[in-house]
Amino acid sequence: MAERLAASLLPAAASPSPSARRATVPAAASFPSSCSARAAGLRLRSSRSAAGRFSKAAAGRRGGGGALRVVRCMAASDAAELKSAREDIKDLLKTTYCHPILVRLGWHDSGTYDKNIEEWPQRGGADGSLRFEPELNHGANAGLINALKLIQPIKDRYPSITYADLFQLASATAIEEAGGPKIPMKYGRVDVTAPEQCPPEGRLPDAGPRDPAEHLREVFYRMGLDDKEIVALSGAHTLGRARPDRSGWGKPETKYTKDGPGEPGGQSWTVEWLKFDNSYFKDMKFLSQLPSEEQKEQDLLVLPTDAALFEDPSFKVYAEKYAEDQEAFFKDYAEAHAKLSNLGAKFDPPEGFSLDDDMSDRPADEKKEEAAAALEPVVAAVSTATSDDNNGAAPQPEPFVAAKYSYGKRELSDSMKQKIRAEYEGFGGSPDKPMQSNYFLNIMILIAGLAFLTSLVGN
């Protein structure tokens, strides 16, 4: 399989674009089978030949003589391009069902962080280093070359974003599109620039350590995460499958995976393995109560690190809670995912920026509307200033500016302005003159009132 994958990659290699942000990674191809890769960061076996052969071939096509040609991309990402890339990722998810492997891509790029190392990029973390061959060949990253093939066309379309941001954007979007919580992400991560900056192998979790609970703490404590965050992040096993021919874990296929979607086969942790909810904890709680022999007969996967969540007293508190309360799980997961995505990252600007509330990331048409709205007070001031020098004519009314009646900092939308104008004119007023009193109507109302009172007195 690895040989066929390598062969399929070679023809796809293309010449680099003129953009200063291109780096050496695989070109475009649609691989639904990549969706079978698991969503959590467990050690998987890989064939190193696929990534190695492709990298050498790509370098040869670039005239690199067998060495990777590295292009530096050290600037922050463009917010508008990130928003457009997010829409493209949503389209990709709808057609390839690659939610699990995109989650895993972001996790494995950031999960190499070591809080005991201060220097960047030696400390590891979310820096885009996973695109380089040395890290891609780590055993725990088996199959992630498929994720790079899926995501690279989006990077080509939006060269002003970094790989580090793109990996984390894809991971968070996959969670949200699978029905998970909104992740409070920030962006502006800087990319590493050379394969020599990749972290050493061995920093990611293993699926079957001798002491699963202790191993999880050793790995995640090194990142600065705690027991609650370990359990919450483990809940991402609600997505994805494991395949025995890749990771050594799971069944070749089950009744839940034999028909796909994507490439059939593998064993999932949950029945609906492309839906993000708290079913992982519900299923693990049920399976943990069965004898080991009966567990093996089930079609759902339970790894030693999964079982540890209901065996370790500290982990069990959170696992039991999440099995009963999906809202609590979503809240804790969103916070833990966002924290994981920032580990080790170097931001430009240093505080990063959000795609949801940062003003700089709005589309160009919105920026034009706001610029026009900002000019309205200037136009009004000019009109007022020239009204006294109008050849004796009556002063011109001040133009209607809805922002004068708004309590917020932003201009009202055009639809809101039209609504206010329509309601005002409906009562007889207009932006150009005050509403006049209707004296005839007032007199008629008064006469009718007197007649009513006279009738009452007569009765």
Q: 323-328, long-range: CB within 8 Å, 24+ apart, which pairs?
A: 323/278, 323/281, 323/282, 323/284, 323/285, 325/278, 326/277, 326/278
Rounded to 5 degrees, φ, ψ at 87 are -65, -40
Rounded to 5 degrees, φ, ψ at 287 are -70, -30
Q: What CA–CA distance (Å, rounded) separates 135 from 158?
A: 24
Q: Give me the active site residues, please.
A: 108
* Fold agreement between 71-197 and 212-336: no
The burial class, CB within 10 Å (0-12 / 13-18 / 19+), for 449 is exposed
Query: Which class is 212-336 in CATH?
Result: mainly alpha
HSE toward the beta carbon, residue 242, CA cutoff 13 A: 23
Query: Which class is 71-197 in CATH?
Result: mainly alpha
Q: What is the dihedral of CA 112, 113, 116, 119, to 10 degrees?
A: 110
* Model pTM score: 0.65
Per-residue pLDDT of the chain (459 residues; tens, 9 = 90+): 444 444 444 333 333 333 333 333 333 333 333 343 333 333 333 334 444 433 443 344 334 444 444 444 444 799 999 999 999 999 999 999 999 999 999 999 999 999 999 999 999 999 999 999 999 999 999 889 999 999 999 999 999 999 999 999 999 999 999 999 999 999 999 999 999 999 999 999 987 788 999 999 999 999 999 999 999 999 999 999 988 877 778 889 899 998 888 788 999 999 999 999 999 999 999 988 888 777 777 889 999 999 999 999 999 999 999 999 999 999 999 999 999 999 999 999 999 999 986 544 454 445 545 555 555 554 455 444 444 444 444 455 555 454 444 444 455 566 666 766 676 666 566 555 555 556 677 788 888 888 888 888 886
Listed residue (221, 238, 193) closest to 38, CA to CA: 238
Domains of the chain, residue spans: 71-197, 212-336
